[in-house]
Structure 1
Amino acid sequence: MDATFTIIHDIPGRLRLIIPALYDKKDYEQINQMFSSIKGIEQVRIEPIIQSMVISYNQEMINKKNILRFISLFFKQTRFDPLDNIMVNFKPNQRKDFLRSLVTGILLLVAYLNKSSGSVPGMLDYAVVISTAYTVLSHGENHKLRHPDVITGIVSMLSLGVGNILHVAMVTWAVNALELLNDANKSKVLL
């Protein structure tokens, strides 16, 4: 069974856990009520911003091992996102950006494999460029034109030209992928 939590503090009668699945959950009151209803658990406090759950419990009525088993089973069974095991610490919007970039990368690979040397760009090439542009422009919040991947796309297009449209898309996509990994790394540090 994969780890669904990390124990941060463990003192007799009190546990603090980091549970990445809490970031996606919106029914905190129901989760709180469910765990509070377990015999021996006295208080549950959920802090979704930092993905934390604090559980105060009576050691004579329930042991830590059983509480951790309940936590593990509950959050394992309520995880529906297939990317959870890979990107458990990524924020939901970052997952969407990553998935979009992954699809674009696959399209780029297919276009390169189908490309014959010296031929005029075809329909697949233009689809890849559109997919790359959408991927690049759909992530981030402010100042989209100042993103490194957007600037790279513009400079690449001007320097490589339209005849090398797949090369432009590849360079732009690569910078986008690096930017997404950097954003994900920053968000993990903030957690």
Structure 2
Amino acid sequence: MNPKFYVLHDIPGRLRLQIPSLRDKTDYKEIEHMFSSLKGILFVRVEPTIQTMLIKYDFSHLSRNTIFRYISIFFQQIRLDPLDDIMIQIDPTTRKDWLRTLFSGCLLLLAGIRKSSFYKPDALVYGAVVATGYTVLSHGSTDKIKHPDIITGIITLLSLGPSNMLYVAMITWIVNVLELFHEKQKFQTQRLHTII
């Protein structure tokens, strides 16, 4: 499920959240009044054009996780993702990319552990390679061929050959992880410039 909000700015006592479903609401003053009336919340301002909500709160009486629960309930979201506390700072698209990468990385690890000296690919190896391929192809811009992980996969496949497809997938996966770290850093830099 796509998250209904993510954190743009978070310091104790002040939160700025981007909430895409605000574009479907028209009663902004009522939303501000409702959240302002909650115990511990001092000030709320909704910016409908950029779909954000600024919340100032007394952090000695109210935690940010409680505010997240209020937001989730109001905008009808149930957050079941165990990585939400870690990944709340990441935009929803990048979060999906990371979860797919973690899944394909686990499959690659299992396939690598099971590999014996007399190696013959089995369903786990094929599944890990397919999952890695899907992970690599499913993120980024429409011009996929220019992505570093795609280029690395092609070059590695040509140099190692199809019999070493597990190694090709592992190298491609590592470059994909590095690319995701780069995108995360770029997103945080852009967010910092937006806030300032």
TM-score, reference length from structure 2: 0.72
Matched, 1:18 2:15: yes
In the other structure, the counterpart of 1:59 is none
Distance 1:69 1:117 in 2: 57
- Check the 8 A contact 1:24/1:92 in 2, yes or no: no
Matched, 1:73 2:66: yes
Task: After TM superposition, give the deviation of residue 54 of structure 1 in Å.
Answer: 5.7
Q: Which amino acid aligns with 1:53?
A: L
Matched, 1:93 2:86: no
Cα 1:106–1:38, aligned 2, differ >3 Å: closer, same or farther? closer
Q: Which amino acid aligns with 2:21?
A: K
Q: Show the 5 A alignment for 1:89-168.
A: 89-168=89-168
- Check the 8 A contact 2:42/2:58 in 1, yes or no: no
Task: After TM superposition, give the deviation of residue 104 of structure 1 in Å.
Answer: 0.2
Q: Which runs of 5+ in 2 are unaligned?
A: 1-6, 73-77, 192-196
Task: After TM superposition, give the deviation of residue 37 of structure 1 in Å.
Answer: 4.2
TM-score, reference length from structure 1: 0.74
- Check the 8 A contact 1:18/1:51 in 2, yes or no: no
- Check the 8 A contact 1:129/1:169 in 2, yes or no: yes
Alpha-carbon RMSD: 3.2
Secondary structure of residue in 2 paired with 1:86 = helix
Distance 1:66 1:145 in 2: 47
Cα 1:68–1:110, aligned 2, differ >3 Å: closer, same or farther? same
Distance 2:90 2:158 in 1: 34
Task: After TM superposition, give the deviation of residue 111 of structure 1 in Å.
Answer: 0.3
- Check the 8 A contact 1:136/1:149 in 2, yes or no: yes
The percentage of aligned residue pairs carrying the same residue is 43
In the other structure, the counterpart of 2:10 is 6
Distance 1:103 1:177 in 2: 12
**Corresponding residue pairs, total:** 171
Q: Show the 5 A alignment for 1:36-47.
A: 36-37=36-37, 44-47=44-47
| Further displaced range: 101-110 or 111-120 | 111-120
| Further displaced range: 131-140 or 81-90 | 81-90
- Check the 8 A contact 2:152/2:172 in 1, yes or no: yes
Secondary structure of residue in 2 paired with 1:154 = helix
Q: Which amino acid aligns with 2:18?
A: Y
Q: Which runs of 5+ in 1 are unaligned?
A: 9-14, 56-63
